[in-house]
Amino acid sequence: MLAIRPANERGVANFGWLDSRHTFSFGHYYDPQFMGFGPLRVINEDQVQPGKGFDTHGHSDMEIISYVLEGALEHKDSLGTGSVIRPGDVQRMTAGTGVRHSEYNASDVDPVHFLQIWIMPEKKGLEPSYEQKAFSDSEKRGKLRLVGSRDGREGSVTIHQDVDLYASLLDAGDRIDFDLSDQRHGWLQVARGSVKLDGKMLRAGDGVAMTGAASHEIEGVDAAEILLFDMGR
C-alpha cells in the first residue's frame, strides 16, 4: 500500500534566514497524524541563507543524518569534529548520551539546501559518534546506492537502527525496481525533480509511505534525486 505525503501539505517554518519544510511533526509544527514512520522520525528540507545557521544546541538518543543538495554546510560538535558537508556527502551523527553541535552555511554568498533526517536508534545511551562519507554521482546514477545501513556494508555510513538508506540520481526514462517484504516498511523521499512510483507522479518534496509485500518501480520523469528508506518494523 502507498500513502503519499504531498510536499505542499508539510509543516512550514520561515525565519528569514531559514526556510524549512517538515514532513513530520517538528518544532512548532504538530500533526498527530504525522509523527514519523517506523523508526524514521524527522525529514526536514532546509534552505539556509549565506552566512547564517543553527547556533550550538544539544541532541540525545537520535541518529541524525545530513544530506546536502546544493551549497555547503559547516558542522562543528562537542566531540571535536569539524567538517564541511557538500553534495554527494552523507553525514551521520549518533547523539547518544548527548552531543552539542552547530550547523552553518559555509558560504557568505550562496544559500545551502539540505535534508536533515532523524532516525530513532535501536537503543538509548549509545556513545556519541560521527561519520561522513562521499558518494559520487556515478555510483548513484540510474541505480540505488546504499549510503547508510546498520552494518556499514558496501562502504555506507553506519546507522544504529535496522534501516537501509539508498540514494539515487535518475534521468528521464531511468527505471529502478525494488522489492519490499511484508516485514519491512519503506519510505521514498523525492529530494529534487520528478519521478513516478508504480505509475503515480511524485514531485520534489513529496514522500511516500510503503507497507506490505510488493515489487515497486521508480521511473525518472526529469532529472531527479531520491532517497529510499528500507526499514524494519
Q: What is the mean pLDDT of the chain?
A: 96
This prediction's pTM: 0.96
The reported pLDDT for the residue numbered 79 is 81
Give the model confidence (pLDDT) of 115-140 as tens digits: 999 999 999 999 999 999 999 999 99
Give the model confidence (pLDDT) of 21-40 as tens digits: 999 999 999 999 999 999 99
The share of the chain scoring above pLDDT 90, in percent, equals: 96
Closest CA to 40 of 117, 97, 149, 106: 117
Residue 226 CA, chain-centre distance (Å), reads 9
DSSP three-state, residue 61: coil
66 contacts 75 by C-beta, under 8 angstroms = yes
Q: Is residue 205 scored above 90 in pLDDT?
A: yes
Give the model confidence (pLDDT) of 38-82 as tens digits: 999 999 999 999 999 999 999 999 999 999 999 999 998 888 888
Q: Sorting pLDDT into bands at 50, 70 and 90, what band is 170?
A: very high
Q: Is residue 185 scored above 90 in pLDDT?
A: yes
Mean pLDDT of 197-212: 97
Separation of alpha carbons 178 and 227, rounded Å: 13
CB count, 10 Å around CB of 38?
20
Q: Is 114 left (phi over 0), alpha (psi -120 to 50) or beta?
A: beta
The reported pLDDT for the residue numbered 80 is 83
C-alpha cell at 178: 525494488
Q: Is residue 147 scored above 90 in pLDDT?
A: yes
The reported pLDDT for the residue numbered 78 is 85
Q: Is residue 233 scored above 90 in pLDDT?
A: no
Domains of the chain and CATH, by start = 2-232 (2.60.120.10)
